[in-house]
Structure 1
Amino acid sequence: MIVELGHFALVLALALALVQSVLPLIGARVGDARLMETGSTTALGGFVMLALAFAALTHAYVVSDFSVLNVAENSHSAKPLLYKITGVWGNHEGSMLLWVLILSFFGALVALFGRDLPASLKANVLSVQAWITVAFLLFILLTSNPFARLDPPPFEGNDLNPILQDIGLAIHPPMLYLGYVGFSIAFSFAVAALIDGRIDAAWARWVRPWTLVAWVFLTAGIAMGSYWAYYELGWGGWWFWDPVENASFMPWLSGTALLHSALVMEKRSALKIWTVLLAILTFSLSLLGTFLVRSGVLTSVHAFATDPTRGVFILGILCVFVGGSLALFALRASSLEGGGLFAPISREGALVFNNLFLTTACATVLIGTLYPLVLEVTTGAKISVGPPFFNLTFGPLMLPLLFAVPFGPLLAWKRGDLLGAAQRLYFAAGAAFVAVLFVMAITQGAAILSALGVGLAVWLMIGSFVDLWGRASFAKAGFSNALRRLAGLPRSVFGTAIAHFGLGATLLGIVAVGAFGTETVTTMAPGQTVHAGGWGVRFEGLAPRDGPNFTEEVGRFTILDGTSEAGRIESARRLYTARQQPTTEAGISTHLFSQVYVALGDAVANGGQTVVRIWTKPLVTLIWLGCVAMAIGGLVSLSDRRLRIGAPARAKRRGGRPIAEPAE
């Protein structure tokens, strides 16, 4: 009965979304406040219905209701409770339901917190958001119904894909979807403004917080997915330029450009056309990622579906929304004003420079991802575009951008002083030079490019805080006065510095692992020690062990630093009994920011030995810690009152009574 209620709630959500997609839009055209207000009511109601549907599917998984086809195909009664819950979105149908739930959640947030939006803009935004919801609810109900029944039901389920039975799955997909789908709000604002024919700095002020929220979640989601693949797949890598990895990375690049472009538009009323176009393209790339994952055109550990019918349906959604929004943009673009003028050397100029390189890099990743697919469709030829292509094209595009990042916050709006900014960065440049010399000294000059990479990372990390140092006037105001000035700075300034520092930390981790990491593949017998990358790894032996829905053979290892013990880890070869599918569970020993990574291979016949892969990875955790810092920087910026929709800045009258006045 609960399953039927969930299905009925899904149908009701579609009905509410249809109402939301039409009535507020009509109300905005005719100026009817009551019709416009239906958008808020239906948005909240639709979210409640989708939450009920999702709860019903979750209940079916928790109680192992194998009369539901989706549960029978992706669950097992012996599976731990945590993985029964995460299994709800560990499959195509359930993940699409989560996708639409998050979509309606953002619409409900606009309904709740958009009270200060102009009524017509809010109504148009909610209508556009409802168009997307209707399309994907139709997709779910017509091609991917998560509540389809089995008659008769099987006694036992097929179990969830073993590589998805991990705590990372509880975190990675929801965060990734919050990022993907969060950009739908920026898209809805862009299309709504184009419908209204009015785009100004106030519009950018409304868009930027929603974009920042989506960007924070997408950053965290990509980082979590990278770390999950790193430790779960037993391959020792953190990024492979997999097409589905690229599908999440492209919206991140475009969304980063959108954030910076919206800042220029808000502060200087410039880059209006650029900002609207980026808002459309960022969500379009999110839709493209959805198509790639679920159409069956890609074979990937991340891909869900292989049904071409579903792929054609999503391709239709992609064409309608991307084509329709770009057509509307083309229709309105000529009527949009260019905005304020600025000199090439200015903060606006620096942000334009940033955006040009980010969008070019995004286009490069897009071409490398789609070219093999297009070539196969048009000629039948199959080629592979892998890491060498992306490393040779994406890397050089990032170098000038990363070098320019510390300059941006130091330049004034409209017209800046490049020489003055460079003088303030002397200390960062000196530290970067020392880092380069240090790396060359310890490698006897054998790693020049790596040394330059480390220097660039240090330049980024130290340069990110130069703006804070200058604003607080530590060199002139005295330490106590400087601390007071520092505490009074807007939080968005701190957020920018933290995010840029995180970018430098991630770069440092990437360079260190790529240049100084080692890989050793050998056979080991119990009691044998292998030395790799300055560490000793002693194999203690193998032992069998049973899990709730798997059996495994566990290898125990001791990590040695010289002759002293530095840690103990376990690696395993695991077999999930329901699917008879093996997995590799890597053992990882973390030492500050570095790691020793051990994965078991197959046993050697009649030899009493086991194949073992050992990686040493210096500073590898900085890759993900830097991403965490970027996300924290975004959250700090989001806490700035000037980024809260409708939140006025506080001021005081001369008599001390607080009043409200608009934030700057």
Structure 2
Amino acid sequence: MIIELGHFALILAALVGVVQMVVPIFGAHKGWRGWMALADPAATVQFLLVGFSFAALMYAFVVSDFSLRLVAANSHSDKPMLYKVSGVWGNHEGSILLWLLILVLFGACASWFGSNLPASLRARVLGVQAAVSIAFYGFILFTSNPFERLEYPPFNGQDLNPLLQDPGLAFHPPFLYLGYVGLSMSFSFAIAALLEGRVDAAWGRWVRPWTLAAWIFLTIGIALGSWWAYYELGWGGFWFWDPVENASFMPWLLAAALLHSAIVVEKRESLKAWTILLAILAFGFSLLGTFIVRSGVLTSVHAFANDPERGVFILMILGVFVGGGLLLFALRAKAMEAKGVFGLVSRETALVSNNVLLAVSSFVVFWGTIWPLVVEIASASPVWSGGMANPFYTFGLFDKPEQVSVGPPFFNFAFTLIFVPLAIILPVGAVLAWKRGSLSKAMKSMAPIAVLAIALGALAFAMQTGRSAMGPIGVVLGVWVVGGASMDIWLRTGRGALSDRLKRLTRLPRADWGKFTAHAGLGITVFAVAVLMAWEAEDIRVAQVGDRWGVGIHEIELAAVVEIDGPNYYGEGGEMNVYRNGRFVGQVFAEKRVYPVAQMPTTEAGIRNGVLRDVYVVLGDPQTGGGWAVRTYIKPFANWIWGGAILMALGGFISLSDRRLRVAAGAAKTTSNTVPAE
């Protein structure tokens, strides 16, 4: 009965969504306040109905109701409770319901906390948000119904994918969806602004908190996914440029660009058209990520589904909203006249450079991700459907079907070319004045940081032997960005005695501290990624119990291999003793698990975490001649990667807590500052 009520609540929520889409937008067009006011209760009712529907599905997983097809396919009675709960979104249908729940949650939050917004803008924002939710109601109800019953329920379920039975993956999708779906609010604000013809400083301040919240959640979600890949998959890496990893990274880059662009709109009323375009594209890339995960057009270990028909439905949603948004953008482009002018050397120019580099990096990732698919389609046949000749064959570009892959070497090289100038510009741009700045003055204030960065880079270069230049470059850039962020916040205290400046430091706005924390986190992550890739040590061997071997300054001993028996898995575990400079420092336990219900093996790396380095050991398969395959890595500063990501997210939270940002100060600006619609 609860399941049927959850299904009915979802249908009822879709009907409420239709009302929320049509009535407030029409009311805003006519200026009817009563019709516009309907958006607020409708948004709340939608959230309550979808929330009940989601709770009903979660109840079915918790009690192991195998009469529900989704529970039978993705759960098991012996599974730990955490993974019964995370099984709700560890599949295609449940994850779409979670997506929908977050979508209507953001709409409800816009209603609850948007009292400072003009009534017509709030009505249009909520109407556009409802339109997005209607598309996903149609998707879930017609193609991905999570409440489908089985005529003959099985005695037990088929279990959740063992790779997803992990704390990191239990929380990774919700945070990622909060980021993906949060960008729908930026999109709704952009479309509402185009409909209303209002793109001004107040709008820039209104859109920033929603974009910042989405960026924070995306940062956490991506970091959790990277951390999971590091310790769970057993290949020793933290990022593989997998299509689904890229699908989350692209909107993160565009959201970062949108955040900085909105600052220029707020402060200088410039870059209006560019900011609107970024809002549309950021949400578009979120939808593109959903398509990649669920369509099966690109292979990934993270993919939820392999169903081209469902992928076509998502592609239609992408086309309608992004295509419609770009069309409206083209029609209204002339109305977004920039008011602020600025010189070549200014903070605005630095932010424009930041935007261009971030946007280019996102499109580089996009092109590298889809290029194998483009080549495969282009070279599939000399004759396309309908009898049309394949032009790639006609001009001799392909004479047989091609299969290509774009891997880490391409992405690493491309990102080095883009992120080096981005990291160089970031600290200097932060201390430049608005409108017209002095480069010599900015460089003079940053000179001590530059000297320190170069000195530490030279020290790193002198200490390493026979290694790549990536390590020293990473040291220079990391120190430059972190030191630049520190100098920026120190310069904001003005001049005077040290005690007075320290007092002013404690009174700086939270947004300034958030900016410092986030930029410092970026610098730490850049440093950690570069030095890990440059200075990592690796050893692969077949080891017998009792063998001891050296990797750098460490020695690893295979002490024993024991049988393990978990709640829903079994396997073998290797006890590894770790020595440094001949002294015993600890033990790690590496496992090879087998999940009998899913008939799937997994690898659990044994990791000894340290501040300066990780000792990372993977137990492989037993060998025919005796012994076990063992891989050992020494990973310098590995944990600093996720420490930097935590600081970036923390910086976003600190900025979001700034009252000026939360209440959208500037909302009371007069209409004389608005851009009229044509």
Do they fold alike, i.e. is TM over 0.5? yes
Matched, 1:591 2:610: yes
Is the contact between residue 295 and residue 306 of structure 1 (CA under 8 Å) also seen in structure 2? yes
> Which deviations, in whole Å up to 9, do the C-alpha atoms of 1:493-547 show, x marking residues without a partner?
1111111111110011111111100111011111211111211111111111211
Task: Name the aligned partner's letter for residue 465 of structure 1.
Answer: S
Which residue in 2 is equivalent to 1:654? none
> Which deviations, in whole Å up to 9, do the C-alpha atoms of 1:545-600 show, x marking residues without a partner?
21111112111111111222212111111000101111111111011142011111
Which residue in 2 is equivalent to 1:373? 373
Q: How does 1:383-402 map to 2 (within 5 A)?
A: 383-402=404-423
Cα 1:593–1:89 shift into 2, 3 Å? farther
Measured in 2, the distance between the counterparts of 1:394 and 1:80 equals 40
Which residue in 2 is equivalent to 1:330? 330
C-alpha deviation, 1:449, in angstroms = 4.0
Matched, 1:549 2:568: yes
Matched, 1:410 2:443: no
**Which stretch has the larger CA shift, 597-606 or 236-245?**
597-606
Which residue in 2 is equivalent to 1:568? 587
Measured in 2, the distance between the counterparts of 1:605 and 1:456 equals 48
Measured in 2, the distance between the counterparts of 1:378 and 1:315 equals 20
Q: How does 1:9-408 map to 2 (within 5 A)?
A: 9-380=9-380, 381-408=402-429
C-alpha deviation, 1:318, in angstroms = 0.7
C-alpha deviation, 1:393, in angstroms = 1.7
Q: How does 1:581-620 map to 2 (within 5 A)?
A: 581-607=600-626, 609-620=627-638
Task: Name the aligned partner's letter for residue 351 of structure 2.
Answer: L
Is the contact between residue 296 and residue 305 of structure 2 (CA under 8 Å) also seen in structure 1? yes
> Which deviations, in whole Å up to 9, do the C-alpha atoms of 1:342-380 show, x marking residues without a partner?
001111111001111111111111111112212222322
Task: Name the aligned partner's letter for residue 634 of structure 1.
Answer: G
Which residue in 1 is equivalent to 2:459? 438
Is the contact between residue 641 and residue 648 of structure 1 (CA under 8 Å) also seen in structure 2? no
Task: Name the aligned partner's letter for residue 135 of structure 2.
Answer: A
Is the contact between residue 219 and residue 649 of structure 2 (CA under 8 Å) also seen in structure 1? yes
Task: Name the aligned partner's letter for residue 581 of structure 1.
Answer: M
Measured in 2, the distance between the counterparts of 1:286 and 1:2 equals 32
Cα 1:445–1:412 shift into 2, 3 Å? farther
Which residue in 1 is equivalent to 2:552? 533
Matched, 1:423 2:441: no
Larger RCO, structure (CA 8 Å, separation 6 or more): 2
C-alpha deviation, 1:391, in angstroms = 1.6
Corresponding residue SS for 2:593: strand
Is the contact between residue 440 and residue 447 of structure 1 (CA under 8 Å) also seen in structure 2? no
C-alpha deviation, 1:113, in angstroms = 0.5
Is the contact between residue 575 and residue 583 of structure 1 (CA under 8 Å) also seen in structure 2? yes
Measured in 2, the distance between the counterparts of 1:610 and 1:159 equals 29
Matched, 1:631 2:649: yes
Corresponding residue SS for 2:570: strand
Is the contact between residue 346 and residue 433 of structure 2 (CA under 8 Å) also seen in structure 1? yes
Measured in 1, the distance between the counterparts of 2:78 and 2:476 equals 52
C-alpha deviation, 1:646, in angstroms = 4.5
Which residue in 1 is equivalent to 2:473? 452
**Which stretch has the larger CA shift, 273-282 or 442-451?**
442-451
C-alpha deviation, 1:445, in angstroms = 7.0
C-alpha deviation, 1:30, in angstroms = 1.0
C-alpha deviation, 1:392, in angstroms = 2.0
Task: Name the aligned partner's letter for residue 523 of structure 1.
Answer: V
Measured in 2, the distance between the counterparts of 1:400 and 1:148 equals 53
**Which stretch has the larger CA shift, 56-65 or 383-392?**
383-392
Measured in 1, the distance between the counterparts of 2:121 and 2:665 equals 18
C-alpha deviation, 1:448, in angstroms = 3.4
Corresponding residue SS for 1:465: helix
C-alpha deviation, 1:647, in angstroms = 5.5
CA RMSD of aligned residues (A): 1.3
Task: Name the aligned partner's letter for residue 532 of structure 2.
Answer: V
Measured in 2, the distance between the counterparts of 1:158 and 1:62 equals 15
Is the contact between residue 219 and residue 648 of structure 2 (CA under 8 Å) also seen in structure 1? yes
Cα 1:310–1:447 shift into 2, 3 Å? closer
Corresponding residue SS for 1:341: coil
Matched, 1:483 2:494: no
C-alpha deviation, 1:629, in angstroms = 0.6
Measured in 1, the distance between the counterparts of 2:467 and 2:637 equals 19
Measured in 2, the distance between the counterparts of 1:157 and 1:86 equals 15
Which residue in 2 is equivalent to 1:657? none
Is the contact between residue 205 and residue 666 of structure 2 (CA under 8 Å) also seen in structure 1? no
Task: Name the aligned partner's letter for residue 278 of structure 1.
Answer: L
**Which stretch has the larger CA shift, 554-563 or 146-155?**
554-563
Is the contact between residue 272 and residue 339 of structure 1 (CA under 8 Å) also seen in structure 2? no
C-alpha deviation, 1:606, in angstroms = 4.2
Measured in 2, the distance between the counterparts of 1:422 and 1:51 equals 53
Is the contact between residue 531 and residue 537 of structure 1 (CA under 8 Å) also seen in structure 2? yes
Task: Name the aligned partner's letter for residue 526 of structure 2.
Answer: L
Task: Name the aligned partner's letter for residue 450 of structure 1.
Answer: G
Corresponding residue SS for 1:24: helix
Measured in 2, the distance between the counterparts of 1:646 and 1:226 equals 34
Is the contact between residue 75 and residue 158 of structure 1 (CA under 8 Å) also seen in structure 2? yes
Task: Name the aligned partner's letter for residue 634 of structure 2.
Answer: T
C-alpha deviation, 1:444, in angstroms = 4.2
Task: Name the aligned partner's letter for residue 473 of structure 2.
Answer: L
Corresponding residue SS for 2:117: coil
Is the contact between residue 271 and residue 339 of structure 1 (CA under 8 Å) also seen in structure 2? no
Which residue in 2 is equivalent to 1:652? none
Matched, 1:496 2:515: yes
Corresponding residue SS for 1:537: strand
Measured in 1, the distance between the counterparts of 2:371 and 2:185 equals 30
C-alpha deviation, 1:168, in angstroms = 0.8
> Which deviations, in whole Å up to 9, do the C-alpha atoms of 1:50-91 show, x marking residues without a partner?
110110010000000000000000000000001000111000
Measured in 2, the distance between the counterparts of 1:283 and 1:127 equals 16
Corresponding residue SS for 1:89: coil
> Which deviations, in whole Å up to 9, do the C-alpha atoms of 1:120-156 show, x marking residues without a partner?
0000000000011000011001000011000110111
Corresponding residue SS for 1:566: strand
What percentage of residue pairs aligned between the two structures are identical? 53
Measured in 1, the distance between the counterparts of 2:314 and 2:348 equals 38
Tell me the matched-pair count: 646
For residue 523 of structure 1, the aligned residue among 515, 519, 542 is: 542
Cα 1:30–1:2 shift into 2, 3 Å? same
**Which stretch has the larger CA shift, 46-55 or 382-391?**
382-391
Corresponding residue SS for 2:297: coil
> Which deviations, in whole Å up to 9, do the C-alpha atoms of 1:447-482 show, x marking residues without a partner?
434212211111111111101222224xx5223211
Is the contact between residue 18 and residue 130 of structure 2 (CA under 8 Å) also seen in structure 1? yes
User: What is the TM-score of this pair, normalised by structure 1?
Assistant: 0.96
C-alpha deviation, 1:648, in angstroms = 8.3
Is the contact between residue 615 and residue 632 of structure 2 (CA under 8 Å) also seen in structure 1? yes
Measured in 2, the distance between the counterparts of 1:446 and 1:234 equals 25
C-alpha deviation, 1:31, in angstroms = 1.1
> Which deviations, in whole Å up to 9, do the C-alpha atoms of 1:174-223 show, x marking residues without a partner?
11000000000000000011111221111111000110000011011111
Task: Name the aligned partner's letter for residue 146 of structure 2.
Answer: P
Which residue in 1 is equivalent to 2:527? 508
